[in-house]
Structure 1
Amino acid sequence: MDSIIQIKGAVNFNITLDPTIWIFDDRKVDLDTYFTSDKVAVDQDEVYLEDAGKFWSREIMEGAAYPPTLETEKKFDRQKMQTGTFGMVLEPFINNASPAPEATQVTFIDRENNEYTYSMEEAKTLLFQFSVEGKMLTDGGPVYLLHADGSNYKNPIKNIVGIKIS
């Protein structure tokens, strides 16, 4: 259970994070391109509707048979998972914990009990790196804490084991 990270403190819901399963999460970001590409705010409902529309359009045009392109797409995704470097933006996890109205700070705690404190707004923009070249982080893991601008990408905050909201 070394990979489990809990969000505790001034929250309505204590949240337990397991970075070992994030590789399958659609919200993961490719860190090889994340810090070099322009960030555009994305409405998740709009993305869902667009993806559903594309799916149904494809079903209508191609029928329910599985054309060879679907297998190629799945193989590409599997290959990308096995070779990519990925992270997760923290905003959805912090929001799901439902911080108390008076909560203004988020503190990240490492294995040596060092604390790294950020404002609530800044903490929501931070990322957890959970893999490098398709492998879980074993040295300094389970996650690395990265700033949204990538300024500490080469020298991340390692060994994060807890999050306290206050």
Structure 2
Amino acid sequence: MHDDQQVFEFLILEGAQAGLSWELILQKRDAYREAFDAFDPEKVAAYGDAKVAELLANAGIVRNRQKIAASIGNARALLETQQEFGSFDAYVWAFVGGSPVTNAWQSMADVPATTPLSETMSKEMRKRGFRFVGPTICYSLMQAVGMVNDHTVDCFRYAEVG
């Protein structure tokens, strides 16, 4: 995935998922798209108190003030990052040298929750003002946007995305 808006969508969804199930977030995905203006970072970055109050009242999304504030702050940090790197995509994909990392896990038990690379990404993103970007969230983001192929070697998708 190389579209800034799509990568931003997963950044917001991964942050919302912290402490919750991914299944719950996927059930709320359409409501998130509507509530967060189709994940347009320019629109999200401009949210003020009235929009925050609207989001906190929206039962279709996770109504956590810190996660909502992080989403808005992350939109602002993304826009600053775009200015420096030309795109958010260029920034995040630089962590993997522009090409997906293909792992060769034998079983799901082998797939880590974090890696040294996701720890580096987390530290660098935090320096830029991103929040809810711990190493586990960064690794999940990397998996979601295709920066890492963590399908097990016996999975039909392993060769397809490899």
Larger RCO, structure (CA 8 Å, separation 6 or more): 1
Does the alignment reach a TM-score above 0.5? no
Larger radius of gyration: 1
**Structure having the larger proportion of residues in helix:** 2
What TM-score bracket applies, with the shorter chain setting the length?
under 0.3
Q: TM-score, normalised by structure 1?
A: 0.26
Q: TM-score, normalised by structure 2?
A: 0.26
